[in-house]
Amino acid sequence: MSEPNILLTRIDNRLIHGQVATQWNGTLGANLILVANDKVAVDKLRQGLMDMAAPNGVQTRYFTIQKTIDIIHKASPKQKIFIIVENPEDVLKLVEGGVPIKKLNIGNMHMAEGKRQVATTVAVDDADVAAFKKLQADGVELEIRRVPSTPIEDTNKLFS
């Protein structure tokens, strides 16, 4: 069984949206954007809105976390996959479920009650930080970067 061709996994609260999807996809050259999110997997309206924001010629899939774990290894090598998730806890579930995520891009994690702003577009709480620590311990490379044209921010900010 060959490894699925996962180009990048990104955390973004808004999942697929306009410029960001287009810019990342232009850099990555993915032909499949996989949104791994339990809520969106059953929300046809949000899927339709995201399909409109997705870059032309790129397929989209909306799977639950578990379905992603169950079928990612069936992906064809021709599928160049860009996975988008909402939060680090979901990424950790994917990794612990055997999804071979090597690199995690931390894009947008919005400010909310109980969170602290640690980077330009990233706010975390203790659960997020614990998930990032586990991911790092599992050998996942972390980078904080909003879009490909912006500089990478120091990931130590996540743990300060």
Active-site residue among 17, 67, 115, 133?
Answer: 17
| Orientation of helix 126-137 relative to helix 88-96, angle to 10° | 30
Q: What is the DSSP code (8-state) at residue 109? A: B
Residue whose pair of structure tokens reads 């975390």 in the numeric block = 124
Residue whose pair of structure tokens reads 């891009």 in the numeric block = 105
The H or E element spanning position 63 is strand 59-63
| Known catalytic membership, residue 110 | no
Find out whether 20 and 105 touch, Cβ atoms under 8 Å. no
Find out whether 109 and 11 touch, Cβ atoms under 8 Å. yes
Q: Is 106 exposed, middle or buried (0-12, 13-18, 19+ CB in 10 A)?
A: buried
Catalytic residue list:
17
